[in-house]
Amino acid sequence: MADKNESCLLVRNVSFAYEKKYPVLHEISFEAAPGETVGIAGANGAGKSTLLKLLVGLETGFEGSIEICGIRLDKKNLAAVRRHIGYVFQDSDSQLFMTTVEEDVAFAPLNYGYSADETKKRVENALRSVNAEHLAKKPVYRLSGGEKRLVSIATILSLTPEVVLMDEPSSGLDPKNRRNLIGIIRDLPGTKLIASHDMDLLWDTCSRILLIRDGRIVCDGPADDIMRNEELLRENDLELPLSLQGRR
C-alpha cells in the first residue's frame, strides 16, 4: 500500500449519488503511489466508471476529499488537476473528435499553451509510445477499433500526465490488439488506475486490486492474492482470470 506522503492520488471518504435517494459510492478511501498500477475490479454497475469520473472532475458534488499530485480537487483547481491526470474513455469513438490523428493528439498541448514546436514533439512522443506513429496523418474515421484505442491513449499521453485513468480499456478489442494494449499499459509511465471487469487484463497489468461492489471497496490488496481467491471473486460476481482457471 502507498505511503501517504508519497501518494500522487489520495481519495478520502468519498461518497457520491446522482440522486440523493440512490447513492452510487459509499465512503471510498484509497491512495496510490507514483508508478503504481491499480486495478478497480467490479461487476457491471459497481461504481467503477463513476469513481473514475469523480477523479477527473467530470462528476462533482461528492462528499469527502480527492487529491491529485498534492492538489485538492475542487472547481477552482479543476484545470490544474486535469493537467496532471489523463482519462481514457470506455468508448474511443466519443474521445476522438478532430479530423486527423495528429490534430486530435495536439489538441490538449495547444490548449494548455505549449508552443508549436513543443506540441509537435509531444505529438510524436505520444504516438511513438503507443506504437502509432504511422497513423499520424490518418483521418480518425478510417481507424480500426484497436487503432482508435491506441490513439485515445496517445491523446492523453501528449500532456505526460502523472496519473492515467482507463475505463474498460480492453472492451471491443480482438485478442491481438488486446495483447498489444497490455504491453503498452505495462510500459506507460506514471500511476495507472484501470477500471475493468476483464480480470485477465487486470491480472496482466496491475500489482494491486481494489474490489468494488455496490459502491463500496470490499477488498484492497495485492493482485496476486485477490485474483487467486476464487471464493472472494465469486461473492462479488466476478470470476478467476482465464489464465488462472486452467491451473486449478
Partner 1 sequence: MSRIEKAVFELNSIEDLSRQNRWVNRLHPSVKLLLTLLLAVLAVSFDKYNLPGLLGLFVYPLFVFIAGGLRFKDALRRLWIVLPLVVVTGITNPFFDRQVQFYIGNFAVTGGMVSMATLIVKGILCVLGAYILIATTPIEGICRSLRAFRVPKTIVTVILLIYRYVTVLLQEADRVTNAYLLRAPSEKGIGIRAWGPLAGGLLLRSMDRAQVLYESMQLRGFDGEFPEGLHALFYEGRDNRRLSIIYFAVWAVILVLLRIVPVAGIVGSVFGI
Cα 175 from chain centroid (whole Å): 20
155 vs 170, beta carbon nearer partner 1: 155
Q: Does 75 bind partner 1 (CB under 8 A)?
A: no
Going by DSSP bridges, is the β-strand pair 208-213/37-41 parallel, antiparallel, or unpaired? Answer: parallel
Q: Does 60 bind partner 1 (CB under 8 A)?
A: no
Q: Does 94 bind partner 1 (CB under 8 A)?
A: yes
Q: Which residue has the cell 474521445?
A: 95
Q: Does 79 bind partner 1 (CB under 8 A)?
A: yes
Judged by CB under 8 A, which of 100, 160, 177, 180 binds partner 1? 100
Check: CB of residue 177 under 8 Å from CB of residue 217: no
Check: CB of residue 77 under 8 Å from CB of residue 113: no
- What is the longest distance spanned by two Cα atoms in the chain? 55
Q: Which residue has the cell 482507463?
A: 166
Q: What is the DSSP letter of 248?
A: -
Minimum CB–partner distance for residue 220 and partner 1 (Å): 26
Helix, strand, or coil (residue 6) = coil
Determine the interface stretch with partner 1 among 18-26, 96-104, 180-188, 203-211 (rule: CB under 8 A).
96-104
Phi, psi of 149 (to 5 degrees): -65, -45
Minimum CB–partner distance for residue 103 and partner 1 (Å): 6
Judged by CB under 8 A, which of 67, 71, 77, 103 binds partner 1? 103
104 vs 204, beta carbon nearer partner 1: 104
Query: Angle CA(191)–CA(66)–CA(105) in degrees, nearest 5?
Result: 50
- In the region spanning residues 106 to 165, those forming contacts with partner 1, defined by CB under 8 A, are 106-108, 110-112, 116, 119-120, 139, 141, 155-156, 159
Q: Does 97 bind partner 1 (CB under 8 A)?
A: yes
84 vs 208, beta carbon nearer partner 1: 84
Say how many residues touch partner 1, by CB under 8 A. Answer: 32
Minimum CB–partner distance for residue 122 and partner 1 (Å): 11
105 vs 202, beta carbon nearer partner 1: 105
17 vs 110, beta carbon nearer partner 1: 110
Check: CB of residue 12 under 8 Å from CB of residue 65: yes
Q: Does 95 bind partner 1 (CB under 8 A)?
A: yes
Rounded (10°) CA dihedral 61, 167, 203, 239: 80
The tally of CA atoms less than 13 A away on the side-chain side of residue 30 is 24
26 vs 120, beta carbon nearer partner 1: 120
Nearest residue to 182 (alpha-carbon basis) of 245, 97, 123, 241: 241
Which residues of this chain interact with partner 1, rule CB under 8 A? 56, 58, 79, 82-83, 86-87, 89, 91, 94-100, 102-103, 106-108, 110-112, 116, 119-120, 139, 141, 155-156, 159
